[in-house]
Amino acid sequence: MDFTLDDEQEALRDAVRGLLGKAYDSSETRREVTKQDPGFGEDTWQRLAEMGVLGLPFAESDGGMGAGPVEVSIVAEEVGRVLAPEPFIETVVLAGGIVAAAGTDEQRADVLGRVAEGSLILAAALKEIGEPVTASQSGDGWTLSGSKEPVLHGERADAFVVSAKTDAGTGLFLVEGDASGLTRTGYRTHDGGRAAHVAFDGTSATPLGDVSADQAGVLETAVASAQVAYCHEAVGAMTVALNTTVEYLKTRKQFGVPLKTFQALTFRAADMYVSMELVRSVASWATLVLTDEPTRALEAASRAKLQVSTSGRHIGQEAIQLHGGIGMTAEYSVGHYTSRLTAIDHWLGGGADHLKRLASSVGDHEVVEPLPE
């Protein structure tokens, strides 16, 4: 049991922090970038590719770096610290992770190779508001019908990883961005991101791996890895939201004294710190579970996501409150952190969804043992 990073991991963290810190040297820079489509920096994306970050979790034979969940978590946390809008988790961890888990050798080498190079923005289309997207076989090809929403970065995406209903259950498909019968309607999300309604109308799709079997399990596992990565993005965001708030309490004066004179405020900051420590612990643990005890991946992801929901709301809400009016403005950073934390909370299962999952299994164990027996 060891929570410390090794030298190489620290070097990765420093390199990514350097790159993203330069790209988003202020909240204002980020706001400029997210105002323009596609909502992130194409050149920052290329620089991440050059650094090897976009191929981090993929096998070397697929054009990646062969790194594990710990390295992914390091990048995600840096993304969270500056609220970098690049779709690292969306494209690399989630959509890329699904391809890595379900794709054939050729699909992996082709698709993941291009993701790693930075030449392919891949979006995962998994959520439906109404009826599920259905897949049907016609001749030796497959087509999809129905619509997905919200699909993060669905407007900019070069290709989609789509889950669809098959006779076997859930199938996973790859759809090219220029496929006929594909319509996307993009919009902005409150956190500066982009999402889209993506409709399929007899759109031709390539099965990812073997869709004659139910791929729900493969999907769930890939989603769990992305959930844990999002938890680290949230940890990065919470760290900065807390630090910013603490600094503000030291510098802002009212009644002729710094705000930190008021215990009603410092106690609330202390409680935020407690929330921060708890969420950091659970997120790090969940990452280690992905590596060392993969049979508990779904449980670990739910535990982390639940804690992220609790701590994220607490820290996000208090960060604004302790700033007063300035915390409400788009010009100031702290509200954007709260907005992003709110998005993460509700993406890939909200706190309540994960609590429900955990509640349904409380009878399966006597105590929760975080360390393997």
Residues that bind another protein (CB under 8 A): 1-6, 9, 70, 246, 249-250, 260, 263, 266-267, 269-271, 273-274, 277-282, 284-285, 287-289, 291-293, 303, 306-307, 355-356, 358-360, 362-363, 366-368, 370-372
**Helix 263-292 to helix 297-323 angle, to the nearest 10 degrees?**
160
Q: Which residue has the tokens 């049907």?
A: 136
State the Rg of the chain over Cα.
21
Residue 207 burial (CB count, 10 A): 22
Cis peptide upstream of residue 150 (ω within 30 degrees of 0): yes
Minimum CB separation of residue 116 from another protein in Å reads 24
The continuous run of DSSP H or E covering 188 comes out as strand 182-188
Type of residue numbered 371: L
Q: Is the peptide bond before 87 cis (omega within 30 degrees of 0)?
A: no
Report which DSSP code applies to 104: -
Q: Which is nearer to another protein, 203 or 225 (CB)?
A: 225
Residue 261 DSSP symbol: G
Q: What pairs with residue 174 in β-bridges?
A: 161, 206
CB of 320 to another protein, least distance (A): 18
Q: By C-beta, is 53 or 272 nearer to another protein?
A: 272
Give the shortest CB-368-to-another protein separation in angstroms: 5
Minimum gap (Å) between residue 78 Cβ and another protein:
16
Distance linking the first and last C-alpha atoms of the chain: 12
**By C-beta, is 123 or 322 nearer to another protein?**
322
115 or 224: whose CB is closer to another protein? 224
Tokens of 326: 């300035």
Chain CA centroid to CA 313, Å: 17
Min dist CB 256 to another protein, Å, is 18
| Nearer Cβ to another protein (165/260) | 260
Taking phi first (over 0 means left), then psi (-120 to 50 degrees means alpha), and beta for anything else, what does residue 139 get? left
By beta-carbon proximity to another protein, the closer residue of 13 and 47 is 13
Q: Look at residues 103, 114, 188 and name the one whose alpha carbon lies nearest to residue 152.
A: 188
Residue 205 CB, shortest distance to another protein, in Å, is 38
Q: Min. distance of Cβ 6 from another protein in angstroms?
A: 8
Cα–Cα dist 205/249, whole Å: 54
Minimum CB separation of residue 279 from another protein in Å reads 7
Nearer to another protein, 180 or 360 (CB): 360
Q: Which is nearer to another protein, 71 or 191 (CB)?
A: 71
